[in-house]
Amino acid sequence: MSKAKRIGVCTGGGDAPGLNAVIRAIVKYGRGQLGWEVFGVEECFHGLMYPDTKSVWPLDLPSCQGLLGRGGTILGTTNRGDPFGTAEDGRCYAEIIRENYDRYALDGLILIGGDGTQKIGHRLSTEYGIPIVGVPKTIDNDLEATDFTFGFWSAVDVATDALDRLHTTAESHDRVMILEVMGRTAGWIALYAGIAGGADCIAIPEVPYDPARFIEKIERRRKIGRHFTIVVVAEGARPMDSISLEGVSGRRGAGDTLTELLRAEFAQRDDATELRCTVLGHIQRGGSPTPFDRVLATQYGVKAVQLVESEGWGELVCLRGGEITSVPIADVASAPREVDPQETLLGVATSVGIELGGEIEPA
| Identified binder of ligand F6P from the candidate list 20, 138, 154, 326, rule CB under 6 A | 138
Q: Could you tell me if 18 and 289 are in contact, meaning their C-beta atoms sit under 8 angstroms apart?
A: yes
Q: Specify the residue, 185 or 306, whose C-beta has the smaller distance to ligand F6P.
A: 185
DSSP 137: B
The CA distance from 159 to 362, in Å, is: 27
The CA distance from 61 to 309, in Å, is: 19
Q: Is 71 in the site for ligand F6P (CB under 6 A)?
A: no
Shortest distance in whole angstroms from residue 141 CB to ligand F6P: 10
| Identified binder of ligand F6P from the candidate list 25, 120, 124, 139, rule CB under 6 A | 139
The CA distance from 100 to 104, in Å, is: 6
Q: How wide is the angle at C-alpha 199 spanned by C-alphas 215 and 185, nearest 5°? A: 90
Shortest distance in whole angstroms from residue 122 CB to ligand F6P: 19
Q: Specify the residue, 40 or 114, whose C-beta has the smaller distance to ligand F6P.
A: 114
Q: Is 140 in the site for ligand F6P (CB under 6 A)?
A: yes
Q: Specify the residue, 118 or 138, whose C-beta has the smaller distance to ligand F6P.
A: 138
Give Cα separations from 318 to 21, 78, 156, 178, 181 (angstroms): 16, 22, 20, 34, 25
Shortest distance in whole angstroms from residue 184 CB to ligand F6P: 4
Q: How many residues bind ligand F6P (CB under 6 A)?
A: 10
Q: Specify the residue, 92 or 283, whose C-beta has the smaller distance to ligand F6P.
A: 283
Q: Specify the residue, 162 or 218, whose C-beta has the smaller distance to ligand F6P.
A: 162
Q: Specify the residue, 177 or 182, whose C-beta has the smaller distance to ligand F6P.
A: 182
Shortest distance in whole angstroms from residue 57 CB to ligand F6P: 25
Give Cα separations from 92 to 88, 95, 207 (angstroms): 9, 6, 42
DSSP 338: P
Is the dihedral angle over the CA atoms 42, 332, 31, 94 positive or is it negative?
A: negative
Amino acid type, 125: S
Q: Is 76 in the site for ligand F6P (CB under 6 A)?
A: no
Shortest distance in whole angstroms from residue 281 CB to ligand F6P: 8
The CA distance from 284 to 232, in Å, is: 14
Catalytic-labelled residue, pool 15, 115, 140, 200: 140
Q: What is the DSSP string of 86-123?
A: B-TTSSBHHHHHHHHHHHTT-SEEEEEE-HHHHHHHHH
Active site annotation includes 102: no
Give the per-residue SS3 of 7-32: EEEEECCCCCCCHHHHHHHHHHHHHH
- Point out which span in 39-47, 50-58, 134-142, 261-269 binds ligand F6P (CB under 6 A): 134-142
Shortest distance in whole angstroms from residue 9 CB to ligand F6P: 20
Q: Is 285 in the site for ligand F6P (CB under 6 A)?
A: yes
Q: Is 113 in the site for ligand F6P (CB under 6 A)?
A: no
Angle between helix 188-196 and 152-173 (nearest 10):
50
Site for ligand F6P in 144-203 (CB under 6 A): 182-184
Residue nearest to ligand F6P (CB): 182
Q: Is 14 in the site for ligand F6P (CB under 6 A)?
A: yes
Give Cα separations from 141 to 73, 271, 293, 329 (angstroms): 18, 39, 12, 17
Q: Specify the residue, 79 or 325, whose C-beta has the smaller distance to ligand F6P.
A: 79
- Point out which span in 34-42, 57-65, 138-146, 351-359 binds ligand F6P (CB under 6 A): 138-146
Q: Could you tell me if 138 and 13 are in contact, meaning their C-beta atoms sit under 8 angstroms apart?
A: yes
Q: Specify the residue, 53 or 79, whose C-beta has the smaller distance to ligand F6P.
A: 79
Give the x-and-dash track for 15-54 against ligand F6P (CB under 6 A).
----------------------------------------
Give Cα separations from 189 to 90, 260, 347 (angstroms): 43, 23, 16
Which residues are known to be catalytic?
140
- Contacts to ligand F6P by CB under 6 A: 14, 79, 138-140, 182-184, 235, 285
